[in-house]
Structure 1
């Protein structure tokens, strides 16, 4: 069991959770900010947009495949020591990224950052749980994960804005600074002697082989693949296909981030009220419609009057619908494997980032053979596959009890 450390006051406990959330904010910004920086990176490192997109592909693929392995290998380590070590390496890797002389050195830094991000989130959640009473564990995890939500809504557009004025390297430097602050605060405030039960790779694989789990993981992967086919290249899509200036990209990222934040909230509420299957189906259908409308906007309204407003509205709805699937899919996983929820959700996280890797790679492939406007059509096609997969697995297996899903 987790070592329990009660806090002397509610204020101390909250401050610890807040600093864990600030670390999650740095990690979340790192994970998603490159979508807004691709044009800057491509120009500076003398590669095309499709090649620059592989920096996102490699990050997501490393997160998905190496994250669970590293988490298993470090399962016996004391949590405070491991958390601080991960943050120190995270800061160093961001400095390396900021100082990268070329494309491949930046890619190496991104691989190291992906391992750090995956491990930090797993360890931070386990530490948060160990700091509170059992009845407060859900709220503790929500505070930590709130850092990622804020990173999506605010960290990414701020990072893009910094790149517009100080270059993409300055964005990595600022993330390193935030990581340093979180490291110092957690070093001062976290207690020692925190341990977590080790989850072996065999235990992870035993959950992953359950047919209902496999089906849900496949839907997660396809949903994220569809989204990242476009979001990876949202900056060049907005400038080349819609006619938005580079100065307007931070506002596009802000719109996407706010939509994602609302989507997470609405998706969770809807899954509780209407069930996971209905929520997932409606959300995927929403992404299909908005991606098709984005393609239509790029074809018929590029640089026209009111195009920017229409584009921002569609991006908001698309982001909201896409991210609404995440809590609903997590709810479904929890319902199918209540005895191994942590393992199931860890696998769902890996499926999410595997989908992101495949989506960014698909987007790069599309750009190699077609115009940038085709990205939204490719995303819509993959979303159709996700919807069909969801229907197929619902018919193949009986729905888990509503109580379990809730």
Structure 2
């Protein structure tokens, strides 16, 4: 592996752990801050919304700056936000800390991915992107369980550990990465790719893919209750299978994107995900089936991100950071929308039926990808000087 990717992976791992581990800390956080678990849950919502709204805006505003400098600044904000959250002694301060953390995170993953794309040989771009995204998938498989283990002693230790990861990543970036500046362009020029209908279609597909999966995955614990008998240990085993699948799926995505092309891979990924979600009601009757579908879900869901990034960067390489930031926003928006749809559906449907609900959303995303592939919209050409 290109050693320049190592600190980028570390940065993505820190962001992924920070984003995913908070769910398991909510009971302890709510007790310390003297708020309800539901109120503590808004710490996740605030973070996700900050990320979704800030990523494309901050990406556009910083696109002409040195990417290494921007990434180091973003990591500094991220570390400060986590440190502030770790010492928070009231709810309002904790909310403010999560907003600060979200602002830093909104630049870290897009910048890391854009840097990976810019230093990659063209024929290996998919693999370089997959290596960076591997930091996020490793967070689901390793960072979240390790963070939960630290939280058994004190939940603040988890936040300090995440902040420490951010510091280590920053040190590696400062030591290993060169300065990387995008071609000079005004803000209007950097935002011009957002008028490309294909870009809108790609990021909408990203949102629909994540929404389809998270309509079920948000309530995965409840859906798997019959299979686990209410055992937290068995539920952890099911979720670990999903994390392992995510690591494998992300690794395969880079190679398959480079080999078959991102659009063709997305068609396969989306079709398989629709099938898995449709079968979900039958997969939670026993532990073995639940582990199997959790693993398969991890593989397929995390295989969708790299080809989407590749499609965007290939259309507008000059606006990579803006578009990757927009795709990251779509990812978080899809997670939020899927959770909302799943929650509303539970007013009328049993939790096992959330798989087919997600499949309906997934069919809409698949139809959009099919329409785009058939249209074969060419990338816009730069205007003549």
Q: C-alpha distance in 1, partners of 2:67/2:248?
A: 32
Residue 190 and residue 96 in structure 1: after superposition, are their counterparts in 2 closer, same or farther (change >3 A)? same
The match for 1:20 is 8
* Deviation for aligned residue 1:317: 0.7
Aligned counterpart in structure 2 of residue 61 of structure 1, from 25, 30, 49: 49
* Deviation for aligned residue 1:378: 3.0
The match for 1:88 is 76
The match for 2:365 is 386
Three-state SS of the structure 1 residue aligned to 2:303 is helix
The match for 1:286 is 272
CA contact (8 A) 1:162 1:168 kept: yes
Tell me the TM-score normalised to structure 1 length: 0.77
* Deviation for aligned residue 1:126: 5.6
* Deviation for aligned residue 1:364: 4.1
Structure 2 unpaired stretches of 5+: 380-385
Three-state SS of the structure 2 residue aligned to 1:155 is helix
CA contact (8 A) 1:286 1:318 kept: no
Q: How does 1:5-404 map to 2 (within 5 A)?
A: 14=3, 17-38=5-26, 46-48=35-37, 53-75=41-63, 77-101=65-89, 104-125=92-113, 138=125, 143-163=131-151, 165-186=152-173, 189=175, 195-197=181-183, 200-239=186-225, 242-298=228-284, 301=285, 307-337=286-316, 340-366=319-345, 371-395=350-374, 397-398=375-376
Three-state SS of the structure 1 residue aligned to 2:36 is coil
Moved more, 356-365 or 313-322: 356-365
Residue 290 and residue 68 in structure 1: after superposition, are their counterparts in 2 closer, same or farther (change >3 A)? same
Q: Output one character per residue of 1:363-403: Cα deviation in whole Å (capped at 9) or x when no partner.
A: 444456765444434322321222233234444x23669xx
Q: C-alpha distance in 1, partners of 2:322/2:147?
A: 32
Q: C-alpha distance in 1, partners of 2:180/2:378?
A: 35
Moved more, 264-273 or 86-95: 264-273
CA contact (8 A) 1:225 1:355 kept: yes
Q: C-alpha distance in 2, partners of 1:335/1:190?
A: 26
Three-state SS of the structure 1 residue aligned to 2:147 is helix
Query: How big is the alpha-carbon RMSD for the aligned residues of Structure 1 and Structure 2?
Result: 3.7
CA contact (8 A) 2:207 2:334 kept: yes
Residue 110 and residue 231 in structure 1: after superposition, are their counterparts in 2 closer, same or farther (change >3 A)? farther
The match for 1:7 is none
Three-state SS of the structure 2 residue aligned to 1:166 is coil
* Deviation for aligned residue 1:52: 5.2
* Deviation for aligned residue 1:148: 2.7
Q: C-alpha distance in 2, partners of 1:260/1:78?
A: 32
Residue 322 and residue 192 in structure 1: after superposition, are their counterparts in 2 closer, same or farther (change >3 A)? closer
Q: C-alpha distance in 1, partners of 2:206/2:221?
A: 24
* Deviation for aligned residue 1:116: 0.7
CA contact (8 A) 1:33 1:159 kept: yes
* Deviation for aligned residue 1:335: 4.8
Residue 127 and residue 85 in structure 1: after superposition, are their counterparts in 2 closer, same or farther (change >3 A)? same
CA contact (8 A) 1:126 1:196 kept: no
Structure 1 unpaired stretches of 5+: 1-9, 302-306, 402-406
Q: C-alpha distance in 2, partners of 1:80/1:336?
A: 23
Q: C-alpha distance in 1, partners of 2:206/2:154?
A: 34
Tell me the TM-score normalised to structure 2 length: 0.80
The aligned length equals: 377
Q: C-alpha distance in 2, partners of 1:206/1:285?
A: 32
Q: C-alpha distance in 2, partners of 1:161/1:252?
A: 17
CA contact (8 A) 2:141 2:243 kept: yes
Q: C-alpha distance in 2, partners of 1:267/1:193?
A: 28
* Deviation for aligned residue 1:204: 4.5
Residue 140 and residue 109 in structure 1: after superposition, are their counterparts in 2 closer, same or farther (change >3 A)? same
Residue 254 and residue 127 in structure 1: after superposition, are their counterparts in 2 closer, same or farther (change >3 A)? same
* Deviation for aligned residue 1:94: 1.3
